[in-house]
Amino acid sequence: MKCNNSLDKLSSNRINQDKNNKDIENYEEFLQQKKLKKLHLQQDIINDSKYYADKLLNFEVRLHKKINNTYNFFLEKYFLSILPVVDSIDASVHLLESSNKNNSEIYVYLKDIQKKFIYLFSKYKISIINAIDIPFNPEFHQAISIDFSGKYKNNYISYVIQPGYSINNRLLRPALVSVSQIK
């Protein structure tokens, strides 16, 4: 009986040990699955964070563009209202120069104001469109007259009647020009 009891105990211990080994294997498999799931979740979080970081960067770029466009539009509106004053000052300076009164006090003051406007334009990236002997470009020029003198190549600017202006390569006002034509 002792032997039988011992065998039963041994057998019972072996069964318990097998059961424990199986439980350990199940727990190891369960743990492995959880580790794998954790890895997948971590990868998903990393992918999501990259996705949202890209979205945030795109949003920031769009926001800067909108702010820049708003700022430029704001400047455009006010510079358009200043252009008639600049045109009047330019016309007055040219009139005084042509009448040989370019040493008068008014002329000196007008030249000083003109320089201040030119500085202001350069500060805010406003370009003056007033070049001659360049090809006519309908995006920046408006033809007012035709010049048949033959001094310039065909379809070139021969005279600028009124200068044009652009801000950040965006047209504020086209230049009014005379275009050369060969008969």
Least confident range from 2-6, 19-23, 91-95, 107-111: namely 2-6
Residue 97 inside a domain? The answer is no
Does the pTM surpass 0.75? The reply is no
Residue 133 covered by a domain:
yes
Report if residue 49 sits inside a domain. no
**Dist CA 128 CA 177 (whole Å):** 13
| 131 located within any domain | yes
pLDDT value for 7: 57
List pLDDT tens digits, range 43-81.
988 888 889 989 999 999 999 999 888 877 788 888 999
Close Cβ partners of 127 (under 8 Å, ≥ 6 residues apart): 121, 165, 166, 167, 169
- CATH no. for residue 152? 2.30.22.10
Residue 138 domain boundaries: 127-183
Report how many domains make up the chain: 1
